[in-house]
Chain A
Amino acid sequence: MSAKLSKALEYANYRVTLNNQHEALKAKAQSLLSYSVNGGTFTIDRELITFCKTLITDKVKEAVLLDIYNNPIKVDTKSFYAEIKSRYFEATNEYYAEYEKLRQARSVHKVIDFNDF
């Protein structure tokens, strides 16, 4: 096999590994962006955060929100908002840190971030 071809294959392998590792990171972030409370489960996203902020601005203390199963769940808006906001930034900051590390990785062993390298 020519050196040029083997280099190309090595690069292809790196791209596949990188792509897969991106998905693994995404899976972790998505898992952290799910929040269960009062018997319901919510996906934390910008829409939910903004909606809760609006409720607080309108001085609504308690509200019924539809969770991922479309079940109505009563929540205390202030504590719910504080919790989802904190979880959102915790998850996205972690995602960002890992993503940046991955972005700079230029070989398979750096993508996987082996301890023994």
Chain B
Amino acid sequence: MTFKKNSKGILMFAHNNDEIDYFKLAVLNALLIQKHCKLKKEQIAVVTDQASYDWACKELGKRLINKAVKHLIFVEKDRQFKYSNIRVYKDTSLTPKELSFYNRDRCDAYDLSPFEETILIDADYMILSNKLNDCWGHNNDLMMSWDYKDICVDRELPSLHRISPLGITMYWATVVYFKKTEYVETFFNFVKHTRDNRDYYRDLYKLPGSIYRNDFSFSIGAHMISGLQDKGIPELPFKLYKSFDTDDIHSVESDNSIILYLEKQRSPGDFILTKWTGVDLHIMNKWAINRITRKFFDYVTTTTTATKTTKRKTKKATSTG
């Protein structure tokens, strides 16, 4: 895809499955990005498919979608992949569900992005601050994080540090910053090669399970482009905070504050409360986000409208005065 010089923007992927409305999450996140990072809708792109878009038009209305996102990039779904990549999603540990996980085209982010500088984020990485802006114009052409922090302090999940128990460091494809350069293009070629030759790389890197995960492809790509050195790609200039699909959301307090239930590791089904404010957060329980989207939309759209009304009033007063 062609891109404008010096353009910068956020890219998300949103392919719905039978139960999870990823497109709705992307629209919500786009509005949060506009609010907190002060980016325009022209700086937000969503890669989707026709079915997800049509559903969102019915659910949200075209007006809201147009207000949130300028660049809608439509791709055809690979049907075979869609029915073969099945993942266990959880709406807390009490409700596990097996659903299709369509994540095949994330490796094409470099080709699909309409921006020279892109921050690729998951639709469920909720933007509650302006920290993403720290990436623009950075000296590093490519950045992604291997270190993450669970927002429940005494929970430790060692299996998430490496792609397999004796394997390489796991990079998180949740947030990836990249510039359109030859080096980054080569990196994405490695990632695509990993996706297209899954069986070979599964054997070589001893990948667990049969599900296709972008975290694995990006980690292998990072390992290969660094000359098979560990942690060769620099981390993002901020920490990656995560909550898991065993957690739930109690409520939204404002456009940058959420109260969550966090499951205690040593007593599943038992939760503690936490209030999370002003720091971006990856929320893996998609149903939990969907349950609070209406309230979140209210906060984001009301404040945007209020600001516009005030501006209009000020303008009117200035012109009459």
- The stretch from B79-87, B158-166, B236-244 touching chain A is B236-244
CA distance in complex: A68, B276 (Å): 26
B149 at the interface (CB under 8 A from A): yes
8 Å CB contacts to B: which residues of A21-68? Answer: 21, 23-24, 27-28, 30-31, 34-36, 39-41, 68
B152-A112 in contact (CB<8A): no
Question: Which one of A20, A27, A73, A113 lies within 8 Å of B279 (CB-CB)?
Answer: A27
B237-A17 in contact (CB<8A): no
Query: Most chain-A CB neighbours within 10 Å: which of B131, B135, B275?
Result: B275
Contacts A31-B278, A114-B259; is A24 near B151 (CB within 8 Å)? yes
B129-A13 in contact (CB<8A): no
B272: chain A residues at CB < 8 Å are 13, 16-17, 20
8 Å CB contacts to A: which residues of B240-292? Answer: 241, 253, 259, 262, 264, 272-279
Q: How far is the CB of A62 from chain B (nearest CB, A)?
A: 17
Contacts A19-B153, A39-B138, A115-B253; is A24 near B277 (CB within 8 Å)? yes
A108: chain B residues at CB < 8 Å are 273
B139-A21 in contact (CB<8A): no
B264: chain A residues at CB < 8 Å are 16
Question: Which one of A13, A20, A31, A71 lies within 8 Å of B238 (CB-CB)?
Answer: A31
8 Å CB contacts to B: which residues of A74-117? Answer: 108, 111-115
A114: chain B residues at CB < 8 Å are 259
Contacts A36-B134, A41-B134, A69-B234; is A112 near B279 (CB within 8 Å)? no
B237-A36 in contact (CB<8A): yes
Q: How far is the CB of A99 from chain B (nearest CB, A)?
A: 13
CB closest chain-A residue, reference B253: A115
Q: How far is the CB of B230 from chain A (nearest CB, A)?
A: 16
Chain A residues with CB under 8 Å of chain B are 13, 16-17, 19-21, 23-24, 27-28, 30-31, 34-36, 39-41, 68-69, 71, 73, 108, 111-115
Query: Can you give 27 contacting A-B residue pairs, CB < 8 Å?
Result: A13-B272, A16-B264, A19-B153, A19-B154, A20-B262, A20-B274, A21-B274, A23-B151, A24-B151, A24-B274, A24-B277, A24-B279, A27-B241, A28-B277, A28-B279, A31-B278, A34-B134, A34-B237, A34-B238, A36-B135, A36-B237, A39-B137, A39-B139, A69-B140, A71-B139, A108-B273, A112-B275
**A27-B149, A27-B279 given; 8 more Cβ-contact pairs under 8 Å:** A17-B273, A20-B274, A34-B131, A34-B238, A36-B135, A73-B139, A112-B259, A113-B275
